[in-house]
Amino acid sequence: MKVWLADTGPLVALLTANESMHPWSVEQAKSAPAIVLTCDAVITESLFLLKRVGHDTGTLFALIESGFLRSDFDLHAEYRAVRDLMRRYREMPMSFADACLVRMSEIHGDSVVWTLDRDFHVYRRHRHQTISLITPF
Protein backbone atom coordinates (compact mmCIF):
# COMPACT_ATOMS: atom_id res chain seq x y z
CA MET A 1 0.00 0.00 0.00
CA LYS A 2 1.25 3.46 -0.87
CA VAL A 3 2.10 5.97 1.82
CA TRP A 4 -0.34 8.90 1.80
CA LEU A 5 1.03 12.39 2.40
CA ALA A 6 -1.70 14.84 3.39
CA ASP A 7 -1.76 18.46 2.28
CA THR A 8 -3.75 21.23 3.96
CA GLY A 9 -6.71 21.41 1.56
CA PRO A 10 -8.10 17.89 1.99
CA LEU A 11 -7.67 18.04 5.77
CA VAL A 12 -9.58 21.30 6.08
CA ALA A 13 -12.25 20.09 3.65
CA LEU A 14 -12.56 16.80 5.52
CA LEU A 15 -13.25 18.62 8.78
CA THR A 16 -15.47 21.40 7.43
CA ALA A 17 -18.86 20.16 6.25
CA ASN A 18 -19.71 23.33 4.33
CA GLU A 19 -16.51 23.24 2.24
CA SER A 20 -17.19 22.46 -1.42
CA MET A 21 -14.61 19.65 -1.40
CA HIS A 22 -15.92 18.08 1.81
CA PRO A 23 -17.75 15.16 0.11
CA TRP A 24 -14.72 14.36 -2.04
CA SER A 25 -12.36 14.51 0.96
CA VAL A 26 -14.64 12.24 3.00
CA GLU A 27 -14.76 9.69 0.16
CA GLN A 28 -10.99 9.74 -0.22
CA ALA A 29 -10.46 9.37 3.53
CA LYS A 30 -12.46 6.12 3.39
CA SER A 31 -9.77 4.70 1.07
CA ALA A 32 -6.83 6.04 3.07
CA PRO A 33 -4.43 3.78 4.91
CA ALA A 34 -4.71 3.59 8.69
CA ILE A 35 -1.96 6.20 9.04
CA VAL A 36 -1.61 9.26 6.82
CA LEU A 37 1.64 11.21 7.08
CA THR A 38 2.06 14.96 6.96
CA CYS A 39 4.39 17.64 8.29
CA ASP A 40 4.12 20.31 10.97
CA ALA A 41 3.77 23.02 8.31
CA VAL A 42 0.58 21.40 6.98
CA ILE A 43 -0.79 21.01 10.49
CA THR A 44 -0.04 24.69 11.17
CA GLU A 45 -1.78 25.83 7.97
CA SER A 46 -4.75 23.57 8.66
CA LEU A 47 -5.20 24.83 12.22
CA PHE A 48 -4.98 28.43 11.01
CA LEU A 49 -7.58 27.90 8.28
CA LEU A 50 -9.94 25.96 10.54
CA LYS A 51 -9.77 28.67 13.19
CA ARG A 52 -10.22 31.43 10.59
CA VAL A 53 -13.55 29.94 9.48
CA GLY A 54 -14.65 29.53 13.09
CA HIS A 55 -14.29 25.75 13.12
CA ASP A 56 -13.24 23.80 16.21
CA THR A 57 -9.55 22.98 15.84
CA GLY A 58 -10.02 20.06 18.21
CA THR A 59 -11.19 17.95 15.28
CA LEU A 60 -7.74 18.11 13.70
CA PHE A 61 -6.13 17.20 17.00
CA ALA A 62 -8.56 14.28 17.20
CA LEU A 63 -7.18 12.96 13.87
CA ILE A 64 -3.70 13.14 15.38
CA GLU A 65 -4.79 11.55 18.67
CA SER A 66 -6.53 8.70 16.86
CA GLY A 67 -3.32 7.91 14.99
CA PHE A 68 -4.86 8.59 11.57
CA LEU A 69 -2.71 11.69 11.00
CA ARG A 70 0.97 11.65 11.90
CA SER A 71 3.52 14.41 11.48
CA ASP A 72 6.62 12.64 10.20
CA PHE A 73 9.14 15.14 8.89
CA ASP A 74 12.47 16.17 10.40
CA LEU A 75 13.09 19.70 9.15
CA HIS A 76 16.47 19.88 10.85
CA ALA A 77 17.67 16.96 8.75
CA GLU A 78 15.94 18.12 5.55
CA TYR A 79 16.14 21.93 5.60
CA ARG A 80 18.69 22.10 2.77
CA ALA A 81 16.47 20.09 0.44
CA VAL A 82 13.43 22.18 1.44
CA ARG A 83 15.35 25.40 0.87
CA ASP A 84 16.52 24.15 -2.55
CA LEU A 85 12.96 23.25 -3.56
CA MET A 86 11.67 26.68 -2.53
CA ARG A 87 14.46 28.30 -4.56
CA ARG A 88 13.76 26.12 -7.60
CA TYR A 89 10.04 27.00 -7.56
CA ARG A 90 10.36 30.60 -6.33
CA GLU A 91 8.50 31.93 -9.38
CA MET A 92 5.30 30.08 -8.37
CA PRO A 93 6.10 30.69 -5.38
CA MET A 94 6.26 27.36 -3.55
CA SER A 95 4.99 27.41 0.02
CA PHE A 96 7.01 25.99 2.87
CA ALA A 97 4.38 23.28 3.44
CA ASP A 98 4.46 22.28 -0.25
CA ALA A 99 8.25 22.06 -0.18
CA CYS A 100 8.10 19.80 2.87
CA LEU A 101 5.55 17.54 1.16
CA VAL A 102 7.60 17.34 -2.04
CA ARG A 103 10.64 16.40 0.05
CA MET A 104 8.56 13.81 1.91
CA SER A 105 7.54 12.34 -1.46
CA GLU A 106 11.24 11.97 -2.26
CA ILE A 107 11.94 10.26 1.06
CA HIS A 108 8.90 7.98 0.80
CA GLY A 109 9.39 6.74 -2.76
CA ASP A 110 6.12 4.80 -2.81
CA SER A 111 3.90 7.69 -1.79
CA VAL A 112 0.99 9.77 -3.05
CA VAL A 113 0.18 13.35 -2.10
CA TRP A 114 -3.45 13.93 -1.13
CA THR A 115 -4.03 17.50 -2.21
CA LEU A 116 -6.35 20.13 -3.65
CA ASP A 117 -3.38 22.22 -4.78
CA ARG A 118 -2.89 22.25 -8.56
CA ASP A 119 0.76 23.27 -8.12
CA PHE A 120 1.59 19.64 -7.37
CA HIS A 121 1.04 18.95 -11.08
CA VAL A 122 4.08 21.17 -11.72
CA TYR A 123 6.35 20.10 -8.84
CA ARG A 124 8.83 17.29 -9.48
CA ARG A 125 10.48 14.88 -7.07
CA HIS A 126 14.20 14.49 -7.60
CA ARG A 127 13.95 17.31 -10.20
CA HIS A 128 12.38 15.18 -12.96
CA GLN A 129 9.83 12.70 -11.57
CA THR A 130 6.14 13.50 -11.41
CA ILE A 131 4.50 13.13 -8.03
CA SER A 132 1.67 10.63 -7.66
CA LEU A 133 -1.42 12.51 -6.56
CA ILE A 134 -4.84 11.97 -5.07
CA THR A 135 -6.64 15.03 -6.38
CA PRO A 136 -9.99 15.87 -7.96
CA PHE A 137 -8.24 17.89 -10.70
Query: In tens digits, what is the pLDDT along the chain, a chain of 137 residues?
Result: 799 999 999 999 999 999 999 999 999 999 999 999 999 999 999 999 999 999 999 999 999 999 999 999 999 999 999 999 999 999 999 999 999 999 999 999 999 999 999 999 999 999 999 999 999 99
* Phi then psi dihedrals of residue 7, to 5 deg: -95, 175
Question: What is the total residue count of the chain?
Answer: 137
pTM: 0.96
Give tens-digit pLDDT for 93-133: 999 999 999 999 999 999 999 999 999 999 999 999 999 99
Predicted pLDDT of residue 31: 97
Measured distance CA(81)–CA(83) in Å, rounded: 5
Q: Are 73 and 104 in contact (CB under 8 A)?
A: yes
Predicted pLDDT of residue 1: 77
Amino acid identity of residue 125, one-letter, is R
- Domains belonging to the chain, first-starting first, are 3-134 (3.40.50.1010)
Reduced to 3 states, what is the DSSP secondary structure of residue 63?
helix
Amino acid identity of residue 96, one-letter, is F
